[in-house]
Chain A
């Protein structure tokens, strides 16, 4: 028979908690964002090829700006599309 200690919570207490977002560039010490690597930059755009906001990527302002520049350079060199659909 289950003792009182076994039943602590009715539901998973971690259920409602959101994972804290973080800036991957700061955390992993990435200093330079390469515009020639479209696979990496794909993480920062939505399926239409638009840049995702900082609110969603969690990047710090400094690196979000660098990401934006890198994506724009990649677009100029036709490594990434300006407009598309069903990217990713």
Chain B
């Protein structure tokens, strides 16, 4: 069982539905070929570092999948090459570290997601405090009502 990753750039001129259906078509193609889809990363619209086909931006998709059969890659690449909606693609075989990296990234252990986790932690720590505050509040109001 090998792990592969295919990243491709979809033409941004297409409508949103067409872009999504392009990515879904390849997901379905992989499933039909007997591959196990691990994750589909929609990286979204990005500015290209240099123009491709006179376009200055593109919609990035990254599919990670497992497959027993390596003949799947030439077939997939042929389909990508024939597809006019796909501007550029790159398919690579992931080693065990790459698989672990992607898994960690998905779980938010790597990179920018970590900083958001750090932000999330104080937020989580802050949450119990406001939760604690409303709790005494009714007591206070009760006390106030008792006073009345």
- Those of B51-94 within 8 Å (CB) of chain A: 52, 58, 60, 62, 88, 90, 92
Q: Could you mark each residue 82-115 of chain B with 1 if its beta carbon is under 8 Å from any beta carbon of chain A, else 0?
A: 0000001010100101101100010000010000
Q: Are A36 and B43 in contact, CB atoms less than 8 angstroms apart? A: yes
Q: How far is the CA of A80 from the CA of B50 in the complex (A)?
A: 8
Q: Are B43 and A78 in contact, CB atoms less than 8 angstroms apart? A: no
Q: Within 8 Å CB of B7, what residues of A?
A: 36, 77
Range for the number of chain A residues in contact with chain B: 10 to 19
Name the CB-closest residue of B to A38: B49
Which among B49, B50, B58, B101 is the interface contact of A34 at CB below 8 angstroms? B101
Q: Are B50 and A32 in contact, CB atoms less than 8 angstroms apart? A: no
A82 in the interface (beta carbon within 8 A): yes
Q: How far is the CA of A51 from the CA of B85 in the complex (A)?
A: 32
With contact pairs A31-B100, A37-B111 given, residues A78 and B52 touching in the complex (Cβ less than 8 Å): yes
Q: How far is the CA of A84 from the CA of B50 in the complex (A)?
A: 9
Range for the number of chain B residues in contact with chain A: 20 to 34
Q: Could you mark each residue 1-37 of chain B with 1 if its beta carbon is under 8 Å from any beta carbon of chain A, else 0?
A: 0000001010000000000000000000000000000
B140 in the interface (beta carbon within 8 A): no
Q: Are A32 and B98 in contact, CB atoms less than 8 angstroms apart? A: yes
Q: Are B100 and A32 in contact, CB atoms less than 8 angstroms apart? A: yes
Q: Within 8 Å CB of A37, what residues of B?
A: 111
Q: Within 8 Å CB of A79, what residues of B?
A: 46, 49
B124 in the interface (beta carbon within 8 A): no
B48 in the interface (beta carbon within 8 A): yes
Q: Are A31 and B101 in contact, CB atoms less than 8 angstroms apart? A: yes
The residue among B7, B49, B92, B105 with the most chain A CB atoms within 10 A of its own CB is: B49
Q: How far is the CA of A18 from the CA of B90 in the complex (A)?
A: 41
Q: Could you mark each residue 27-67 of chain A with 1 if its beta carbon is under 8 Å from any beta carbon of chain B, else 0?
A: 00001101111101000000000000000000000000000
Which A residues are within 8 Å of any B CB, using their own CB?
31-32, 34-38, 40, 73, 75-82, 84
